[in-house]
Amino acid sequence: MTTPSLLEITWTDPVTSRKGYVVIDTLVRGLASGGLRLREGCNLEEVRGLAQGMTRKEAIVYDPADRYLPLGGGKGGIDIDPADPEATNVLRRFLAAVLPVVREQWNTGEDFGLRQETIDQVAAELGLDSTVEAVFSTIPDAAESRAAIAEAFATIIGGISLGDLVGGYGVAQACIVSAERLGQRPEEMTAVVQGFGSIGGAAARYLAEAGVKVVAIADRDGLIRNDEGLDVEALLGARDGSGAIDRSVLRSSDTTGDRDDWLTVPCDLLVPAAMSYVIDVDDVPSIVAKIVVEGANMPTLPAAEAALRERGIPVVPDFLANVMTNAWWWWVVFQDIAPTAEASFEKIRAVMNRLIDTVSADAQASGGTLREAALALAARNTAVLAERAGVTR
């Protein structure tokens, strides 16, 4: 039986009639964390599932040695194409309508279809210093925490903000560690990445940097493929704000195709890193991969995951694989790490190794899936958090 959410808001824009949603799944110390997405077709059920995922994502990284004590899970979504000329105005009216929840409980930020700089600008127009004011109100040295997160976001690596790299770096680490547990080395592996925004782009960068041959990338405009390996850095330099790649930079040996063809490209690592619900059961027979690592939220439908398991293809679940954007924010805010690339990547590597090791060992011992083992770990941590800080459901 599914546990009901603590709070569900359905909002209707008075100008465009577009719908917006906020779901608070759990609260820890009265606080929840989770991003806000803009997507044509977004609905309450989707946001509810994402909020439940945030509860797991917060809990799974719990470490009693950290000052960061995980929060509850929440999420927001607006049913609008981010390219719609009215999108920012709708976002502004939505945030104004749910402002009390943002001030007191829901700490939010960028998600699919929404850039952090856009939500920061709108928040400032509404009188907020940030979109995580609810957390800052609980921190005695909040000025230091604000300075730390500002410094972290101002750190640029290869032309990209550290804040736009940490999530994809975590996904790349999840790929590499998971593959190594199956006896493969990075330089022996190939990868296909679906989506080339902050998660997919950074995942591709750090997979390639580790020696993995990235043979295909799917963006909004189609598939780019090279079985000898794509020049990921050149493609990163040629993408726009939505992750679409300028085809004029492609090499003569690169080929293009339909964006849905990414599922059929042979590879070791298949990384859905953009939209939800992109791997259905009918897609499974076409997949030629050894591991699926979920860089996006909820990309694999349950029936598809069951079919992949029957074929011996493990799925590293989203709330484990893509947890690092969220965790990194709070490690910096709570000053568990310095606001530098070195400290960030070191922490991400250590935690992802620990999580993959724990979940893999538990799955092997129980005979279950990685998702089942990860859910069990999140549940154990939630029980500890309930005793230590209180969890409201």
Q: How many CB atoms lie within 10 A of CB 373?
A: 21
Residue 151 is assigned to a structural domain of this protein: no
Are 92 and 194 found together in one domain? Answer: no
CA atoms within 13 Å, Cβ hemisphere of 104: 6
Are 277 and 350 found together in one domain? Answer: yes
Cβ atoms of residues 8 and 46 within 8 Å: no
Are 278 and 330 found together in one domain? Answer: yes
Residue 387 is assigned to a structural domain of this protein: no
Are 357 and 246 found together in one domain? Answer: yes
Are 134 and 168 found together in one domain? Answer: no
Six-digit token string for 267? 């590879």
Question: Helices 166-181 and 198-209 sit at what angle, rounded to 10 degrees?
Answer: 50
Residue 157 is assigned to a structural domain of this protein: no
Taken as a whole, the chain contains a residue count of: 393
Q: What is the pLDDT of residue 393?
A: 67
Residue 200 is assigned to a structural domain of this protein: yes
Are 171 and 109 found together in one domain? Answer: no
Residue 145 is assigned to a structural domain of this protein: no
Backbone angles phi, psi at 359, to 5 degrees: -65, -40
Write down the residue that tokens 């405009």 correspond to. Answer: 221
- pLDDT digit string (tens) for 280-310? 999 999 999 999 999 999 999 999 999 999 9
Are 223 and 101 found together in one domain? Answer: no
**Buried/exposed 212-241: b ≥16 CB within 10 Å, e otherwise:** bbbbbbbbbebbbbbeeebbbeebbeebee
pTM, full prediction: 0.93
Residue 152 is assigned to a structural domain of this protein: no
Spans of the chain, pLDDT less than 50: 1
Phi-psi region of 17 (alpha: psi -120 to 50; beta: other; left: phi over 0): left
Cβ atoms of residues 22 and 102 within 8 Å: no
Helix ranges restricted to H, 61-165: 87-97, 99-104, 116-125, 133-136, 142-154
The domain that contains 341 carries what CATH number? 3.40.50.720
Are 50 and 184 found together in one domain? Answer: no
Question: Helices 341-366 and 166-181 sit at what angle, rounded to 10 degrees?
Answer: 40
Cβ atoms of residues 26 and 32 within 8 Å: yes
Q: Residue 42 has what DSSP assignment?
A: -
Write down the residue that tokens 């935690």 correspond to. Answer: 351
CA distance 375 to 171: 18
Are 273 and 339 found together in one domain? Answer: yes
Residue 71 burial by Cβ neighbours in a 10 Å radius (0-12, 13-18, 19+): buried
CA distance 70 to 54: 10
Residue 378 is assigned to a structural domain of this protein: no
Are 296 and 186 found together in one domain? Answer: yes
The domain that contains 26 carries what CATH number? 3.40.50.10860
Are 121 and 173 found together in one domain? Answer: no
Domain range for 47 is 7-55+71-138
**Measured torsion, CA atoms of residues 117, 111, 279, 323, in degrees rounded to the nearest 10:** 110
Residue 143 is assigned to a structural domain of this protein: no
Q: What is the pLDDT of residue 1?
A: 43
Question: Helices 44-60 and 324-333 sit at what angle, rounded to 10 degrees?
Answer: 60
Backbone angles phi, psi at 352, to 5 degrees: -65, -40
Are 322 and 187 found together in one domain? Answer: yes
Six-digit token string for 281? 């059961």
Q: What is the pLDDT of residue 239?
A: 96
Number of H helices, E strands in the chain: 14, 17
- pLDDT digit string (tens) for 324-355? 999 999 999 999 999 999 999 999 999 999 99
Helix ranges restricted to H, 232-369: 232-237, 302-310, 318-321, 324-333, 341-366
Number of domains in the chain: 2
